[in-house]
Amino acid sequence: MNKSYIESKLSSNLVKIIFSNARKKTFEYKKVIIKPFLKDGTLFFQFEKFTHTQAFHVNLTQDNAAVEIMTLIESNAFKQMDGFMTDSQWHALFNKKR
């Protein structure tokens, strides 16, 4: 999965992206949910990162969100990613081998 594909999915048609099924129990986050929202006419993406007992929120622009998503994919921290758009869905499974 490359950055241009991720950027094409980061639009107002996006409902949410979920990274789940953490590969290691020692990884800081158990799940990450990404949702779009408009603020003053600008599209932002809220990253909701869940630990065992807390949730942390970070709001990023489209460019920074694409970089953060690629970082999550390349870190190999999660086994799966699910994306939900207004008109479609996708599901990606990641293995350990690169």
pLDDT digits (tens, 9 = 90+) for 39-82: 999 999 999 999 999 999 999 999 999 999 999 988 888 999 99
Is residue 98 domain-resident? Answer: no
* In a domain? residue 57: yes
Report how many domains make up the chain.
1
Phi, psi of 28 (to 5 degrees): -60, -40
pLDDT tens-place string over residues 28-42: 899 999 999 999 999
* pTM of the predicted structure, to 2 decimals: 0.89
64 SS3 class: helix
Contact criterion met (CB below 8 Å) for 8 and 21: no
Domain hosting 85: range is: 3-93
Q: In what order do the strands lie in the sheet with 42-50?
A: 55-61, 42-50, 31-39, 14-22, 78-85, 89-93
